[in-house]
Structure 1
């Protein structure tokens, strides 16, 4: 039997939010859990699709006014995360979840549904959404802003964030939020890497949707690593991978 679970304040402790279910006591899981409970008050929706009691995928979305992506999309519903796993792919589960999001956006009188995509990192891949009628409405570097518009007079757009990394010229600066439960491990990896390299590290905690929208160095709005004024990644990595990234950057700078 296939069913869609609407996660709310009453059942989130039971069903979780799909990610990291095997580590409910971890720091990342608990921070995300607290984040979810606060965001539910702002209209956050998490829908988990499951078959015979096994979770197969989920969608997380929120009205654009409160999105944790660095986009101006106040008249849109914004999808944060969208994931169908393994053998659940190709069976219409993603379409069911997306259609529910689209229907809700229409019911609320919004101008459409939007999301940030990228071929890198953990952002959704645009190909599925293109098949559903989404079109690219803005692009900066590898980030593309996709939208399904009900009102052609209203378009979401990226905030002008591209130069903000240059403000952080010394050492490592990490922008992070609790929207993704995997970020806490990545931050620890960076701190350990910085100690091995004897490089200072600064953590900037994006603790509100307004900060995530307007201060994030990338549209991801969840995690970005800056080294000496330059973005080196927005994807969580192992400690050794971070060390290799920084050493490579030093070689390129000094060559």
Structure 2
């Protein structure tokens, strides 16, 4: 099955589809931002592996030390996203992609692989039940059923930052931390900003544009984190409908 997949490299980045947002024109600005972000990460050992087709079938992971998440640990790989959608489900692609990541970690002499998840399935987070089939176990937790899962090869364990586990921020207005790691983010930011402006809702948008900022986000963060009244709300990206529902507009 390996011949069906391709890894994004500096040489093929511009010509390969990033399968999160293939055809939707409103997300093309986000795709460009994602490619720029990815271009800078590849030299750090970042891996984006996808099915060689125009479908949403891919895994994305990086060395934990350079992963833009508030997770710490030595010599681990961190999985940002493992996504198999629609008609591609049921073909063993997720299994193949995850096994590739695990094999890559072992080949590099890593201590293990980790990923953010939750006790009950939440949008934009990897499914705990699926990961458990491969030996991933809960090694740290945060309020709201959020969990850090790890497959350890040597008994060591990564952990969430203490600041992230507090799940709160000093800002009392609606506050959103966002990166450019996902092609959908740019459009989500525009929709949230426009909706809040039209309804006179105070909004604090915080661009997570460096590794240091990502490691210090005060809550669970994979590329997006929402706080309201100083308390963590969700990692789910919001469009106009989502923000209206949250705010009761």
TM-superposed CA distance for 1:91, in Å, is 2.0
Native 8 Å contact 2:165 2:220 kept in 1? no
Tell me which of 157, 169, 173 is aligned to 1:166.
169
Tell me the residue number matched to 2:45. 43
Native 8 Å contact 1:213 1:221 kept in 2? no
With over 3 angstroms needed to count, the CA separation of the structure-2 counterparts of 1:163 and 1:148, relative to structure 1, is closer
**Residues paired across the two proteins, number:** 243
The 4+ residue runs of structure 1 with deviation greater than 3 A are 53-56
> 1:19 & 1:31 partners in 2: Cα distance?
13
TM-superposed CA distance for 1:245, in Å, is 1.3
TM-superposed CA distance for 1:12, in Å, is 1.4
> 1:144 & 1:22 partners in 2: Cα distance?
33
Larger radius of gyration: 1
> 2:222 & 2:214 partners in 1: Cα distance?
5
Tell me the residue number matched to 1:205. 207
Cα RMSD (Å): 2.0
TM-score (normalised: structure 2): 0.90
Tell me the residue number matched to 1:126. 128
Tell me the residue number matched to 1:225. 226
TM-superposition CA deviations, 1:211-242 (whole Å, max 9, x none): 1122x232223111222312233212221331
Segments of structure 1 that go 5 or more residues without pairing to the other structure are 249-255
Tell me the residue number matched to 1:251. none
Native 8 Å contact 2:168 2:231 kept in 1? yes
> 2:79 & 2:165 partners in 1: Cα distance?
22
Any idea what SS the aligned residue of 2:103 has? helix
Tell me the residue number matched to 2:33. 31
TM-score (normalised: structure 1): 0.88
> 1:158 & 1:71 partners in 2: Cα distance?
4
Tell me the residue number matched to 2:69. 69
With over 3 angstroms needed to count, the CA separation of the structure-2 counterparts of 1:56 and 1:121, relative to structure 1, is closer
Native 8 Å contact 1:16 1:33 kept in 2? no
TM-superposed CA distance for 1:22, in Å, is 1.1
Tell me the residue number matched to 2:83. 83
Counterparts of 1:233-244 in structure 2, within 5 Å, are 233-244=234-245
TM-superposition CA deviations, 1:145-173 (whole Å, max 9, x none): 11111001x1011111233633112x222
TM-superposed CA distance for 1:70, in Å, is 1.6
> 1:104 & 1:244 partners in 2: Cα distance?
42
Any idea what SS the aligned residue of 2:79 has? strand
> 1:202 & 1:211 partners in 2: Cα distance?
16
